[in-house]
Amino acid sequence: MDLLKFIGRTRQFERQLEESRPRLWRLAHTWCRNGALADDLVQEALSKGLKHHGQLREEASLHAWLCGILAHCWHDYLRSHRHMDNVADIDESLLVADGTPEAECLQSQIVKRVRRAVADLPVPQREVVTLVDLEEFSYAEVAAILEIPIGTVMSRLSRARATLKERLREHNACSLATPRIARVK
């Protein structure tokens, strides 16, 4: 009977891992900016999660635990590939726009601008801003995931947000400064 309970728990854990895949992929893709690499990182993280499932202390913290494993996989990749090519592939199917074609175009441009600004952040700032602002982890959870002091999380987040604000403000200023040709009827 205990064997059946163990098998049931293992299958449930495997399902939970699989359900975490989309969120992990989105996070990995934001960090590495490469869909194929994000797939590899997520697969490696899930594989390690399955292999080391006994180390998970609280089932409620599964996503944070998996994000920590993913962060380790990402850092291992960065260490082994010092010269990483920047791939600016944006999956247009991830955009959610409704309404008029103009509104969809405007939303697409805004999303691309924000993604580009996030992608241009230094890796440590990019990691923190995605974990806090996109994945909605607390500062303490991010500190645990990345294995850094909470003060470092706060300072990186502050610098990342200031940089993003400035870059997006600069882009808007450039857009407004561009002369427009008036139509003559």
Question: What pLDDT score does 13 carry?
Answer: 82
Rounded Cα gap, residues 69 and 146, in angstroms: 9
Question: What pLDDT score does 14 carry?
Answer: 85
Question: What pLDDT score does 71 carry?
Answer: 93
Question: What pLDDT score does 173 carry?
Answer: 65
Q: pTM for the whole thing?
A: 0.61
Candidates 77, 170, 59; CA nearest to 127 is 77
**Mean pLDDT by 10-residue block, N- to C-terminus, for the chain (185 residues)?**
56 86 94 93 93 84 92 91 47 51 81 88 94 92 95 96 89 57 44
* Residue located via tokens 């996989």: 73
